[in-house]
Structure 1
Amino acid sequence: MPVASSTLPPRPLGFTGRSAELDRLLPRLAPAPNGDTAALPLLISAVTGMGGIGKTALAVEAAHQARAKGWFPGGTLFVDLRGYDDNPVTADQAVLALLDALGVRDADLPERTERQYDAYRTLLTARHERMLLILDNASDPSQYLPLLPGTDQHRVLITSRDSPNALPIRIIDLEALVPDESVALVTCALHDADERDERPSRELDSLRELTALCGHLPLALQIAAAMLRQRRHRSISSLVAEIKEAEDPTIVLDNGSPGTDLYGRSLVLRPVLETSYRRLPPAQARLLRLLSLAPGSETTTEAVTALADLGTEAASLSLLENLAATHLVAPVQSGEGSASVLRWQLHDLVRAFAVSVVARDQGLRKEGETARERVLTFYYRWADAADDRLRWLPGAVEPERFTGRKEALEWLDGERAGLVAAVLWAREERFTDTAVRLAGCLAQYLDWRRYFDDLITTMRAAREATHRAGNVLGESMAWNNLGIALRKVGRRDEAIDAHTCDRDLCQAAKDRPGEADAWNNLGNAFLEADRVEEAINALTRARDLHQVTGNRQGEADAWNNLGSALKKADRTEEAIKGHTRARDLYRVTQDRHGEAVAWNNLGCALPNEEWEEAIEACSRALEIFQEFEDWYETGQTLHNLALAHEEAARTAEARAHHLRAADAFTRANAPDQAAQSRADAENLE
């Protein structure tokens, strides 16, 4: 009986996580039940992923677990093909190492290469005890195809940075570790060296930040852990600060790298990334560089097409898919049906590496700036069209591209992260004008979707840029939208200050339409702060200015808000007249959404004893809000309907409306209001 052969490396120290991947991989290595070879899974499995993701560690761990279960009594053979080194191991070289492990050497070794392969396959065919062959770090099928056994008795496990999509191989793609697994990896590495090391528990927040800076990439985490072991008397936060101060984290990590890992490989990041980058065809290398400059962490195929000037999405998609096969970019699918969006994401360390490649070359820097200008222009063009669609009223010019609100909102939803990130380019003089205009196009959308943090971020960037450039009208726009966002998140005093700045700038520029809008929003902010008389005065000024300038839409807004202020001042009859006047003006301008707001406010303004009229008014509003899929206003209206039914002693109807309101608020990303509505429903039981 042949002796079991094994060249399996030691089990990886501190192996952490990957339970889901092991659950997928181990059944591929298990023997067939009852010896039924027809039930065996595919002969070959591959663990793929970017350099440093932990492919070898997973393969070796799986092999050790399989060996412990007795699945491979014939042994395990491991060959490092060094596929991404300058001189990768060829199949002809590898077969010699495999024959040596199988006991064929010296005088027994055939001289001719083809005879060596014959001897190798004959030995494997004759060996009835199952064996596992691990072909590690392969970069090309030519390295491992000649080494495959000529029998289905044995199993083969390949690791590679490139996905062998053209071959019948079961592929397990590795992604970065989840945050808790990253923390566990570093903690285990420190405790293995010294169980008394209290830094992980003492500086848990800093440890989490460190793992995030490492992109949860196992190789980077191992390097960081080794650096912390070397710096036994220094804090984790000191390493975090050092990495954050560097433009490229890979430089800090590589400079502090202590040497090699358990498998004799250098613990360095940048050479791993450089090797993968150098292997790319020119078109893929260019796309990787440009993707690193894109705004946001994920970029849609359409935006990539504009960024790289590739002409068609089909051309972009083909190039992106080829690049994804190298695991330097990853596809991210989100949404369902018509709202499904395919985005492309770079690992943080790959992005940092590619940015540094661009920064070191003047020609690449110029190419990158031109690409950024293209994608910013692309974002502005379609955000402007989408904004026009959201604001569109019958009789106005039809916006390009988007045939309805739903289509415009879906596009904005899909591109939101990139759009918001692109506005931040306003800090750079070359991009200031377009980025500020883009910010203005996003205000209505971000307010509608209740993305108030994004609205505050974009408007602060726009305000700073326009102030720096002396763009008074642009600055007033930014103050106005910033004030709206601050009011919506309850920061009332800051909102009042913002709208006051907006008003003062408009007055100085003699921009009377802008001043009217500023008075209107200032009045709303005063009302939120319970400064009712100041609110009434401000909203009256807004109404009068809109009347003078002939802006019926603005006048309707002012009447509507004035009605709410009058209601709060217990001037009920005047409030009802204000909302009725607003409703009629909205009808004249054919603004159905505005009409719904007026109907809802009118229902709230009516006295309690007029609950039937209130229910009728709010029901009219509800119908329109649902038509617009405005779930926040739908929730508000359902809440008002519930109150009207409570006034009419219709408890069951009131409870049902509170529960419907909770559902609407949930859809509107308003969890606090949803919780309150559910509580209101429970209180009626």
Structure 2
Amino acid sequence: MGGIGKTALAVEAAHRACKKGWFPGGTLFVDLRGYDDDPVTADQAVLALLDALGVRDGDLPPTADRQYDAYRALLAERRDRMLLVLDNASDPAQYLPLLPGTDHHRVLITSRDRPDALPVRLIDLETLAPDDSVALVTRALHDTDERDERPAREPDALRELADLCGHLPLALQIAAGMLRRRRHRDIASLVADIRETGDATAVLDRGSPGTDLYGRSLALRPVLETSYRRLPPGQARLLRLLCLAPGAETGTEAIAALADLDTGSVLSLLEDLAARHLVTPVGNGDGTASAVRWRSHDLVRVFGAGVVAGDAGLWEEGEAARERVLGFYVRWTDAADDRLRWLPGMAEPERFGDRGQALAWLDGERAGLVAAVGWGREERFADTAVQLAQRLAVYLDWRRYSDDRIAVAEAAQEAAQLVGHRLGEAIAWGNLGNALRAADRAGEAIDAHSRARDLFRAAGDRHGEAMTWGNLGNALREVGRAGEAIDALTRARDLFQATGDRHDEARALSNLGGVLGEAGRAEEAIEALSRARFLFQAAGDRHREGRAWHNLGSALREVGRVEEAIEAYGKDLEICREFEDWYGEGQTLNNLALAHKAAHRPAEARAAWLQSADAYTRADAPAEATQARAWAAEQLE
């Protein structure tokens, strides 16, 4: 893409090659200015090349054809190999006539466009790695003043500045120039300026120090504008709309919804944009073209969004596109959520044949889904965003994405409040409470669940109120308020019984059994957990049946019925593995180890803790894995 450092890399490579003696015949360099308003034509370039080769004035052939003949003849006669650098080409017509008529010499061409139709070796340039970005700015400052201590003094601010520049060499170069000019101000001040405006291109261009070593203007927006202006209408429209997508990476199907096009048409346009280095394909999903994800550079996204915001017609087109992609997300998240909640006897969900397919789709679209819920803070999208947030709750809980759970629930609560959606607000508060408890913020969770309970009660929603009593009981249990937790979970159980909801009654009983066991009321706990297990079995809810077996094992272990506890843990372990619930497997193996330890079987306890560590590692829970290995090591002492 523009600003990636093509010319700088080509010139540096040429210098190094010449230093090694690869091109004793010398080098020729032509700037074709392919993205200027008046690009250099091949006919103009050949005159410059002939002049460099010593053919000028009266020696020049009178016609273009004869000039090309003379140019190729001179190169063919040269025994010493030469390097020809044709910089900044926008069209093969600019450079194809300039290629030597012999393979003796070498040619290096730079362009923002990928000439896939030509048999040339292609080298795609990506943005810099974060560490290289930091090193570039640091070196630029130290080259001017080796006493500049800001990079060492402000490493976090420097890294954030590199992120805001999108690791694009041109943006980093401009930022370094601004920091030279602002030598009495810290790096954080420039970061704050960019954060405040939300547009790095505006801040950097406003403070641009002038021109680079090649006499070119150091400015970001003109680079992006020239690339955008050259696009055919269909590509330009798609790029604008893609810049409005909720995530930095978006799947082909979601982009098709955004653009209101079929998948085949949008895929062709995306491939054209990729050839111009304005979007980048990321992976290939399940191996099909429609599963490819696409990413546009952060600065391109800011530029495209600015183009849309500056035109009333384009703005309305953009808002309609956002509505379409939000609707697309709701439809398929609903189907995926149905699959995750599916129990025997329920209707088969649309599209997703099993949990694995549903989870794979949600994993791929997660960033966009979470960002799209944030659109609910705008009234136009609030209702749909609330729906989307509700359908993400089970998935985010299953994957243990605590930060995303909290962000989604908070955005949904604000959106529901914005449009007066009281039940939606109650559900959002409940989801927020669950997310806060999972993030070890149980005190805040209690407040959130209390708000949810009051809203459900005011709306006369007994099922919602019962669910919230259960969630509140779990949060009270986390902070050690066992008596209140038992009361809350008992109320949840009673309300579910009154409404005839046996499945959710089982959930309340399972949680009630756990807290009864912790309160020393072991026989009551065993009775509640046995009932919960039976109800889950009757409902066909295998995963929650496993959790009930787990809690029952802990209650049995507390009263010394160790062999029965080990059997119960074994039942849960089988179910965890069936669902690939690695974190649940880690927890169960941990408690199984405790049971073996209580039975004075240290070898079995050690083996269970080592397996627990492996499961926690698969679940990306390193702290728990480390602790399990430490307990395993203790069994050798």
TM range (shorter): over 0.9
Which residue among 281, 286, 291 is the counterpart of 2:232? 281
Determine the structure 2 residue equivalent to 1:417.
Answer: 367
How far apart are the structure 2 equivalents of 1:337 and 1:259?
A: 46
Paired letter, 1:503: R
How far has the Cα of 1:248 moved from its partner?
A: 2.8
Q: Secondary structure at the match of 1:136?
A: strand
Over 4 Å off, 4+ runs: 334-341
Identity over the aligned pairs, expressed in percent? 70
Q: Any conservation in 2 of the 1:450–1:668 contact (CA below 8 Å)?
A: no
How far apart are the structure 1 equivalents of 2:149 and 2:167?
A: 21
1:370 aligns with 2:302: no
Q: Secondary structure at the match of 1:606?
A: helix
1:359 aligns with 2:309: yes
Determine the structure 2 residue equivalent to 1:64.
Answer: 15
Q: Any conservation in 2 of the 1:526–1:534 contact (CA below 8 Å)?
A: yes
1:184 aligns with 2:150: no
Determine the structure 2 residue equivalent to 1:76.
Answer: 27
After superposition, what is the alpha-carbon deviation per residue over 1:399-422, rounded to whole angstroms, capped at 9, x for unaligned? 111111111111111110110000
How far apart are the structure 2 equivalents of 1:658 and 1:479?
A: 37
| Within-5 A mapping of 1:125-136 | 125-136=76-87
Determine the structure 2 residue equivalent to 1:5.
Answer: none
Which residue among 243, 252, 255 is the counterpart of 1:301? 252
Question: Normalising by the residue count of structure 2, what TM-score does the alignment of the two structures yield?
Answer: 0.97
How far has the Cα of 1:340 moved from its partner?
A: 11
| Within-5 A mapping of 1:275-674 | 275-311=226-262, 313-333=263-283, 341-607=291-557, 609-674=560-625
Paired letter, 2:342: W
How far apart are the structure 2 equivalents of 1:185 and 1:284?
A: 33
Q: Secondary structure at the match of 1:445?
A: helix
The count of corresponding residues between Structure 1 and Structure 2 is 635
How far apart are the structure 1 equivalents of 2:288 and 2:226?
A: 39
Q: Secondary structure at the match of 2:353?
A: coil
Which residue among 251, 262, 266 is the counterpart of 2:202? 251
After superposition, what is the alpha-carbon deviation per residue over 1:285-337, rounded to whole angstroms, capped at 9, x for unaligned? 000000010101110101001110112x2222111011111011111117677
> For structure 1, which segment, 314-323 or 670-679, has the greater mean C-alpha deviation from structure 2 after superposition?
670-679
How far apart are the structure 2 equivalents of 1:227 and 1:405?
A: 52
After superposition, what is the alpha-carbon deviation per residue over 1:432-464, rounded to whole angstroms, capped at 9, x for unaligned? 000011000000000000001000000001112
After superposition, what is the alpha-carbon deviation per residue over 1:140-180, rounded to whole angstroms, capped at 9, x for unaligned? 11111111111121111110000111111111111111122
How far apart are the structure 2 equivalents of 1:393 and 1:338?
A: 30
Q: Any conservation in 2 of the 1:596–1:622 contact (CA below 8 Å)?
A: yes
How far apart are the structure 2 equivalents of 1:285 and 1:292?
A: 11
After superposition, what is the alpha-carbon deviation per residue over 1:347-367, rounded to whole angstroms, capped at 9, x for unaligned? 111111111110111110010
How far apart are the structure 2 equivalents of 1:245 and 1:528?
A: 40
How far has the Cα of 1:610 moved from its partner?
A: 2.5
After superposition, what is the alpha-carbon deviation per residue over 1:193-250, rounded to whole angstroms, capped at 9, x for unaligned? 2223222222322222222111111111111111222223233222222222224321
Q: Any conservation in 1 of the 2:382–2:418 contact (CA below 8 Å)?
A: no
Q: Any conservation in 1 of the 2:84–2:107 contact (CA below 8 Å)?
A: yes
Unaligned runs of 5+ in 1: 1-49
Q: Any conservation in 2 of the 1:339–1:410 contact (CA below 8 Å)?
A: no
Determine the structure 2 residue equivalent to 1:19.
Answer: none
Determine the structure 2 residue equivalent to 1:35.
Answer: none
1:55 aligns with 2:9: no
Determine the structure 2 residue equivalent to 1:95.
Answer: 46
Q: Any conservation in 1 of the 2:383–2:419 contact (CA below 8 Å)?
A: no
How far apart are the structure 2 equivalents of 1:253 and 1:124?
A: 44
How far has the Cα of 1:339 moved from its partner?
A: 13
> For structure 1, which segment, 102-111 or 139-148, has the greater mean C-alpha deviation from structure 2 after superposition?
102-111
Paired letter, 1:149: P
1:212 aligns with 2:131: no
How far apart are the structure 2 equivalents of 1:640 and 1:247?
A: 50
How far has the Cα of 1:614 moved from its partner?
A: 1.5
How far apart are the structure 2 equivalents of 1:378 and 1:183?
A: 39
How far has the Cα of 1:531 moved from its partner?
A: 1.0
How far has the Cα of 1:383 moved from its partner?
A: 0.5
Q: Any conservation in 1 of the 2:506–2:535 contact (CA below 8 Å)?
A: yes
Supply the RMSD in Å over aligned alpha carbons: 1.6
Q: Any conservation in 2 of the 1:543–1:559 contact (CA below 8 Å)?
A: yes
How far apart are the structure 2 equivalents of 1:284 and 1:212?
A: 27
How far apart are the structure 2 equivalents of 1:151 and 1:338?
A: 41
Q: Any conservation in 1 of the 2:267–2:290 contact (CA below 8 Å)?
A: no
Paired letter, 1:452: S
1:680 aligns with 2:623: no
Q: Any conservation in 2 of the 1:333–1:340 contact (CA below 8 Å)?
A: no
After superposition, what is the alpha-carbon deviation per residue over 1:504-562, rounded to whole angstroms, capped at 9, x for unaligned? 21222221111111111111111111111111111111111111111101110111111
